[in-house]
Amino acid sequence: MDGVVTDTASAHAAAWKRLFDEYLRRRAQRSGGEFTAFDIDGDFREYVDGKPRYDGVKSFLESRGIELPFGDPGDGPDTETVCGLGNRKNRYFHAWLAENRVRTYPSTINLLRALRDAGIRTGMFASSRNGAAVLENAGIGELFDIKLDGVDLSELGMRGKPDPAMLFESAARLDAVPARTAIVEDAISGVQAGSAGGFAPVIGVNRDDYGDALIARGEATKELMASDR
């Protein structure tokens, strides 16, 4: 959803940057180490984009050699745990959502309407637990036969992208076969999930000039899966 249907990937990225820059700066001040800012072009796409919130926190921190207790989803936003940091990021995104109207991509909306006019079922999946809130804000919920977001992911106990579990569940709810189901993604983790699940075609949307990375990761995942069979 974010970055393909709705122009919210940039809002998520800004919330992540605010969170990690605050945390890394305070950590550097405590230890006397050097502060290196969170990079949206590199860090966001590589470690966070498309993943469930707590997975994104853990993945990025590990890239910086930082290990924190996982904590509990009920941790307050000021708690220094993976869950606490993730909940702080969610607070920042909710503040943005309360003050802004979600924009959609006209080309995607036109495609969705054309597909539905042709009798092709469509589904929305998002790792974010805010999927339903974003769709409601944008007023486009009627364009999807099924909707799956991070809340469902947690309730079903499924792994997030790049694991294809969420994609399999979406296809099952659409009564669709993965090999005949198109996946449209702007996140590297999403393209990896589509390739790992044997979906076809897997379409990578190049919003910010990282198309080569989408292609490379998708092809690498496909080759890896083929070698394991």
Rounded to the nearest 10 degrees, what angle do helices 9-31 and 53-63 cross at? 40
**Structure tokens given for 169:** 């569940």
Domain boundaries, the chain: 9-99, 106-228
Q: Is the pLDDT of residue 23 over 60?
A: yes
Structure-token pair, residue 121 = 């079922």
**pLDDT band per the 50, 70, 90 thresholds, residue 208:** confident
C-beta neighbour count of 192 within 10 angstroms: 24
Element (DSSP H or E) covering residue 18: helix 9-31
- Spatial neighbors of 18 by CB under 8 A, at least 6 apart, are 89, 92
Q: Is the pLDDT score of 197 beyond 90?
A: yes
9-99: what CATH class? mainly alpha
Q: How confident is the model at residue 225 (pLDDT cuts 50, 70, 90)?
A: low
Token couple for 104: 């959609």
Strand partners, 148: 125
Q: Given CA atoms 112, 207, 154, 229 in this order, what sign does their dihedral have?
A: positive
What is the residue type of 50? G
Could you tell me which residues come within 8 angstroms of residue 194 by beta carbon, excluding any fewer than 6 positions away? 164, 167, 183, 185, 202, 218
Dist. CA 182–CA 224, nearest whole Å:
20
Please state the φ and ψ torsions of residue 222, each to the nearest 5 degrees.
-60, -45
The pLDDT assigned to 227 comes to 62
Determine what percent of the chain is predicted with pLDDT higher than 90: 88
Domain 106-228 homologous superfamily, CATH: HAD superfamily/HAD-like (3.40.50.1000)
Is 152's pLDDT higher than 80?
A: yes
Over 60: is that where the pLDDT of 229 sits? no
Question: What element of type H or E holds 178?
Answer: none
Residue 228 banded pLDDT, cuts 50, 70, 90: low
Residue labelled with tokens 């109207």: 101
Task: Tell me the chain's radius of gyration from C-alpha atoms.
Answer: 18
CA distance 41 to 169: 30
Tell me the pLDDT band of 226, cut-offs 50, 70 and 90.
Answer: low
